[in-house]
Chains A and B, each alone.
Chain A
């Protein structure tokens, strides 16, 4: 069982109050709060152990290199990657997705080759492919949605026929929908396509096993999983990373440089040009230690329980005044709840909630194609994490009730 009392004490942000009231943070799908363990690991490293990595022979530098590589190893274990060398540090999930989309398209795809995406992708898994479609003449195909917010797999085989890549999100950051990752990866492989998974929303909230997923590549960001901003990861099967060209050139990524040519360092250094986010890698590792100490299965169970409570509370209290998007069954969704409240604009709803210190996101959530499908140009989104409890959901309900007073219902 998750002990919320001890967990909440680990997060200084949650102890804060504004205008004498505590802050209710329901925007973790956007970015998560940080526990003291992460904050302290980063400041201790900067204070006591900061040194360059991979470049200098003195002991401090060797120790810093070990710490950086140690963080990589923790990430590999966390997602059950067969080898730490298959984990590439990136700036965030967006950069990881670009690294593959741009590199693979330029090196391996020809005009007319097809890449399959879905209608529920975040812009980070749409725009890089659109850029490559324009540059390389690649055809983009789209898996549509069902009315209840799942992927519509009716025509999957036809869409995958002859395709070279299937790139999709494991969980929608708007609808909360959990996609059938294994089934999609298997279908991609059957069609001879590579399967890339945007696991940005799933890795922070559930057990991840890249082997069991059957994926070829997988991208995620530290800042959504209690770690710092500025670092993320791309896991890829080694054959694919070997065949993938680097996106950036510079120091650290080379084996040799002459005036007329260079050769690349082995994977993963090949993809890590320049001085990397060393301190952030330490923080990423500490975040993984923290999550592991609680247990991802426990976290998922807690969030399912809280999501069920939130869905029930919102519908019981507001009935037809609230429209909740995405699957109704908590087995099929994560703790991301997008909704429309009466005919109020999400901006106005979030403004009213902000006055009660309830932090939610209002907007298109970087998924404009999905919003158009839903016929909305924005939603309110409340998203939960291990540190949220029922009182946060209650505060959300109270805040929404307050909107009635202002807008005169």
Chain B
């Protein structure tokens, strides 16, 4: 069995203890989407603000385990300030890292590096936890769809 140190990396625990970009953004103009993990009851409410084709702000609220919370926190850092198409590319790239999606390479776009998010790579060795790691990302994808960009 892979060791717990593969899962609970220091960066992950840091984001868990001090989550970035927690809170709410008024709607409108923000798009608000709720995500659930029916397996464990984790919930996330994601607030997304788009301006001029750029993800200008993201905030998250809700309860969850260290993996879902830290993933949400790192995600907000990774996408804020990015053009929407880049944000979508990061989502694909992350889900690819979680072995959920084949990485669809967009020839017109060099997908930005994952940075801190690479720390979540160890989650793949704990298949039950993959759902925790991708909850925020699926919610973001839905929010992007709903905001019509």
Write the residues of chain A forming the contact surface with B, with a CB cutoff of 8 angstroms.
Answer: 18-19, 345-348, 351-352, 355, 362-364, 368, 371, 377-378, 406-408
Interface-located stretch among B26-34, B39-47, B84-92, B140-148: B39-47
Number of residues on chain B facing chain A (CB within 8 A)? 20
Q: Decide if A378 touches B4 in the complex (CB within 8 Å).
A: no
**Are A352 and B13 in contact (CB-based, < 8 A)?**
no
> Does the CB pair B41–A368 fall under 8 Å?
yes
Closest CB pairs A-B (n = 7): A347-B65, A345-B65, A364-B41, A377-B41, A363-B40, A378-B41, A348-B66
Given the interface contacts A347-B67, A377-B63, A407-B13, does A355 sit within 8 Å of B41 by beta carbon? no
Interface flag for B1 (CB, 8 Å): yes
Please tell me if the beta carbons of B43 and A377 are within 8 angstroms of each other in the complex: yes
Contacts A345-B66, A351-B126 hold; do A406 and B40 have CB atoms under 8 A apart? no
What are 17 residue pairs bridging A and B, where the CB atoms are less than 8 Å apart in the complex? A19-B1, A345-B64, A346-B65, A347-B40, A347-B42, A347-B64, A347-B65, A351-B4, A351-B7, A351-B129, A355-B4, A363-B39, A364-B41, A377-B42, A406-B4, A406-B8, A408-B13
For A345, what are the chain B residues with a Cβ–Cβ distance below 8 Å? 63-66, 69
Contact between B64 and A18, CB atoms less than 8 A apart: no
Q: Is the pair B129, A347 in contact by a Cβ cutoff of 8 Å?
A: yes
CA distance A378 to B42 in the complex (A): 8
**In the docked arrangement, what's the CA distance between A279 and B60, Å?**
50
Chain B residue numbers with a CB within 8 Å of A371 are 41
B97 close to chain A: CB less than 8 A: no
Count A-B contacts at CB 8 Å: 49
- Contact residues in B for A408 (Cβ distance below 8 Å): 13
CB nearest neighbor in A for B69: A345
- Is B66 within 8 A of A18, CB to CB? no
Query: B132 interface residue, CB < 8 Å from A?
Result: yes
- Residue of B at shortest CB range from A352? B4
- Most B CB contacts (10 A, CB to CB) among A347, A362, A371 go to A347
Closest to B63 in A: A377
A345 shortest CB reach to chain B, Å: 4
Set of chain A residues within 8 Å of B1, measured between Cβ atoms: 18-19, 355
Q: Which residues of A contact B4 (CB under 8 A)?
A: 351-352, 355, 406
Q: Inside 8 A of B43's CB, which chain A residues have their CB?
A: 377
Chain A residues with Cβ below 8 Å from B41 are 363-364, 368, 371, 377-378
Query: Closest chain A residue to B66 by CB distance?
Result: A348
A364: B residues at CB distance < 8 A:
40-41
Q: Give the distance in Å from the alpha carbon of A378 to the alpha carbon of B1 in the complex.
A: 25
B136 CB to nearest A CB, Å: 15
- Docked CA distance A347–B64 (Å): 9
Q: A407–B9 Cα gap in the complex (Å)?
A: 10
Can you name the residue of chain B whose Cβ is closest to the Cβ of A357? Answer: B1
Verify B40–A362 contact, CB threshold 8 A.
Answer: yes
User: How far, in Å, is A359 (CB) from chain B's closest CB?
Assistant: 13
User: B64-83 CB contact bits vs A (8 Å, 1 = yes)?
Assistant: 11110100000000000000
The residues of B that contact A348 with a CB separation of less than 8 Å are 65-67
Residue numbers in A under 8 Å from B132 (CB-CB) = 347
A95 to chain B, nearest CB (A): 20
Shortest distance between the CB of B73 and any CB in chain A (Å):
14
Known A-B contacts: A348-B65, A351-B7. Give 8 more (CB < 8 A): A345-B69, A347-B40, A347-B67, A363-B39, A363-B41, A364-B41, A371-B41, A378-B41
> Shortest beta-carbon distance, A149 to chain B, in Å?
19
Complex CA–CA separation, A166 to B50 (angstroms): 51
Which one of B4, B8, B43 has the highest number of Cβ atoms from chain A below 10 Å of its Cβ?
B4
Q: Which residues from A are CB-within-8-Å of B66?
A: 345, 347-348, 407
Question: In angstroms, how far is the closest chain A Cβ from the Cβ of B43?
Answer: 6
Per the bound structure, the CA–CA distance linking A324 and B101 in Å amounts to 40
**How far is the CB of A342 from the nearest CB of chain B, in Å?**
12
Please, how many angstroms separate the alpha-carbon atoms of A18 and B1 in the complex? 9
> Which residue, of A348, A364, A371, has the highest number of chain B Cβ atoms within 10 A?
A348
Q: Which chain B residues (83-118) contact chain A, with CB distance < 8 Å?
A: none
**CA gap between A351 and B5 in the complex, in Å:** 12
A352 to B126, CA, bound (A): 12
Q: What is the CA–CA distance of A345 and B69 in the complex, to the nearest angstrom?
A: 10
Residues of A within 8 A of B63 (CB): 345, 377
